[in-house]
Amino acid sequence: MSDNKKNNLVLENFLPYRLSYLTNIISRKLSRLYSGKFNISPHEWRILANLNRYPHISAAETGERTAMDKVTISRAIKSLCDMGLVHKIFSKEDRRRSVLSLTREGKDIYRQIEPLVTGYENSLLSSLNHQELSQLDHLLNKLTDHVTKG
């Protein structure tokens, strides 16, 4: 990224900044697709998507899968439960552990939002050719493996 020999930080070339900047722009554009109509925040959307993919997981597992902090997860789950989109029950094996699942309404809203966000993803990725898509996938996996093992 930066070939600056003096090791002075140039923010616009700093990989974590660039990834965060891109992610923030994408998240903002994605949230415009669903936040007004469904009153869902990006954090709440991530939880809905994870519960659709991995039903009956705990709040802690949701946090691990989304890399969101506990306070953000807790607030988003409370909001989703208050809206009637997520059902929270306590585990029979461990009463300290709650198990989350989408309600019927949560599943319905997820099904309505999913084509909006996948359509945006398809539009975004259409700017890359097949080789670039493959490289991007490989590089993202490689960086994710590095930071999760380090």
Q: If you average pLDDT over residues 105-129, what whole number do you get? A: 98
pLDDT band for 2, please (50, 70, 90 cuts): low
Q: Which residues does residue 57 pair with via DSSP β-bridges, in sequence order?
A: 100
Q: What is the pTM of this model?
A: 0.85
Among 71, 19, 30, which residue's Cα sits nearest to residue 46?
30
How many distinct structural domains can be found in the chain?
1
pLDDT band for 5, please (50, 70, 90 cuts): low
- For 43, the domain range is 11-120
Looking at the domain assignment, is residue 148 inside a domain? no
pLDDT digits (tens, 9 = 90+) for 82-106: 999 999 988 777 777 789 999 999 9
CATH number at 106 reads 1.10.10.10
Q: If you average pLDDT over residues 3-29, what whole number do you get? A: 89
Q: Strand, coil or helix: what is 126?
A: coil
